[in-house]
Amino acid sequence: MELYFLGTGAGMPSKERNVTAVALTLYDERGTMWLFDCGEGTQHQILRSPLKASRLEFIFITHLHGDHVYGLPGLLTSRSNQGGTTPLTLFGPPGLEAMLEPVLRYSQAHLSYELLYREVGEGVVFQDDRFEIQCSKLDHRIDSYGYRIVEKDKPGKLDAAKLHTQGIPPGPLFGKIKRGETVALPDGTVIDGKSFIGPPVPGKKIVILGDTRKCEAAVSLSSDADVLVHEATFDSSLDELAQMYYHSTAKDAAQTAKRAGAKSLILTHISSRYQEDEAARLLSEAQQLFPATWIAKDHWSFSIS
């Protein structure tokens, strides 16, 4: 499981940063990837990355500002040309389908796959046997959401050493024991398979927020997250500007991560005023409050081990 940052800029592209898009690769877990936001030029960024648009399963849109959605028409049509045939689901705020469908219709876009829309609101927006995705509304000029991806706990590992001490050799019985079944051994001894399985392995929790001012909803959604991806459009000297435009400073992001008990924080959505080494100010500001902070740049990845 890995986060791959395709665009890390705010508002408009710059020479160093394209606008917002981040992929969560789930190749080992389900052979797919999920995309969070799709700013203009995202399909170009994918071409310059190891990612494949044909692997896309879900796209989650945080809000409908252009720097988060203008890349959708191009990416959706390119996915057809690149061999994408499996269904693709778009999750997003009310208005996403109404905004996108006329563009696809009037441009006579041909999609070789089924495109599905799922309108999000507060609460659980997706769940299967491996993942649950929760959604909360944040504090922005328009409806903006954050997504919490929760990997469900995995079964504990089979304690082969304990089986060996009981004189149980490797073989077909191991499979039944690993499933926690009650098993009768050749000598007539009956054992409970559950007693040979370790504790469940906790699943990962990843939180990706849309644009927002500092707010309680962000803290609650990010509770105990393994990774929190948070916008940091400005440094704290521009706090009034951040408040005016409903954005966060790097200090705001660090305070949210600290209050939420997150394990790591990644800053993104960086204003174009922070060119070259200027972005280091944002990182330093956040690390003073929350040391386990990184600042994303385009084509940078973060492994969630």
Contact 50, 15 (CB under 8 A): no
As given in the structure block, the two tokens for residue 267 are 């800053």
Q: Is 226 a catalytic residue?
A: no
* Burial category of 303 from C-beta neighbours within 10 Å (exposed 0-12, middle 13-18, buried 19 and up): exposed
247 belongs to an annotated ligand binding site: no
The answer to whether the annotation marks 299 as part of a ligand binding site is no
Q: Which residue in this structure is represented by tokens 């304990």?
A: 162
Q: Which of 67, 226, 252, 298 is catalytic?
A: 67
* 230 annotated as belonging to a binding site for a ligand: no
- For the record, the structure tokens of 275 come out as 């060119």
Q: What is the CA radius of gyration of the chain?
A: 22
63 among the known binding-site residues? Answer: yes
Residue 67 counted as an annotated binding residue: yes
Task: Judge whether 294 and 264 are in contact, CB under 8 Å.
Answer: yes
Structure tokens at 167: 């004189």
State the DSSP H helix or E strand holding residue 119, giving kind and residue range, or none if neither.
Answer: strand 115-119
Q: Are 255 and 285 in contact (CB under 8 A)?
A: no
Distances (CA, A) of 19 to 10, 42, 68, 110, 220: 6, 8, 7, 26, 26
Spatial distance between the Cα atoms of 287 and 108, rounded to a whole number of angstroms:
49
Distance, CA of 242 to CA of 231 (rounded, Å) = 11
CA gap 141, 77 in Å, rounded: 30
**110 labelled ligand-binding:** no
* Binding-site entries: 63, 65, 67-68, 140, 211, 269
* Binding-site entries for Zn(2+): 63, 65, 67-68, 140, 211, 269
Tell me the catalytic residues.
67
